[in-house]
């Protein structure tokens, strides 16, 4: 009976050791999984933060570019208006000069006709 008890105890110890090894392996895997999960959560958090910052920088760049394009368009519109006004002034001066010459020529012609008669 003692021999059977000893063999049974040896088998139980062997099973307990084997179970302890498996339990240790399972606990190690659980700890590794927990560490990987924590790392993944931290990486995802920083990824979200960086993506938000990148989106914010992108929108800031877009708004700045939009503003500068508007300023350039406004400046070009002002230059065009200024050029039109200057062009109109130049045209007005040329037309005035031409009409003065034509009027002077007509007056001279009429005076020549009167003096001829």
Domain of residue 75 covers 1-117
Q: 116 versus 9: which is more confidently predicted?
A: 9
| pLDDT more than 70, % of the chain | 95
Name the band, by pLDDT with cuts 50, 70 and 90, for residue 32.
very high
Number of domains in the chain: 1
User: To 5 degrees, how large is the angle CA 111–CA 112–CA 113?
Assistant: 90
Give dist(CA 110, CA 103) in Å, integer: 10
Q: What tens digit of pLDDT does each residue of 52-97 get?
A: 999 999 999 899 899 889 888 888 887 777 677 777 777 778 888 8
């Amino acid at each position: 009976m003692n021999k059977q008890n000893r063999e049974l105890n040896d088998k139980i110890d062997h099973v307990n050791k084997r179970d302890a090894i498996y339990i240790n392996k399972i606990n190690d895997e659980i700890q590794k999984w927990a560490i990987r999960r924590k790392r993944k959560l931290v990486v995802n958090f920083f990824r979200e933060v960086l993506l938000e910052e990148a989106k914010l920088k992108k929108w800031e760049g877009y708004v700045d570019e939009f503003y500068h394009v508007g300023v350039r368009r406004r400046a070009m519109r002002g230059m065009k208006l200024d050029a039109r006004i200057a062009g109109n002034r130049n045209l007005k001066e040329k037309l005035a000069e031409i009409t003065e010459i034509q009027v002077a020529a007509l007056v001279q012609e009429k005076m020549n006709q009167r003096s001829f008669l």
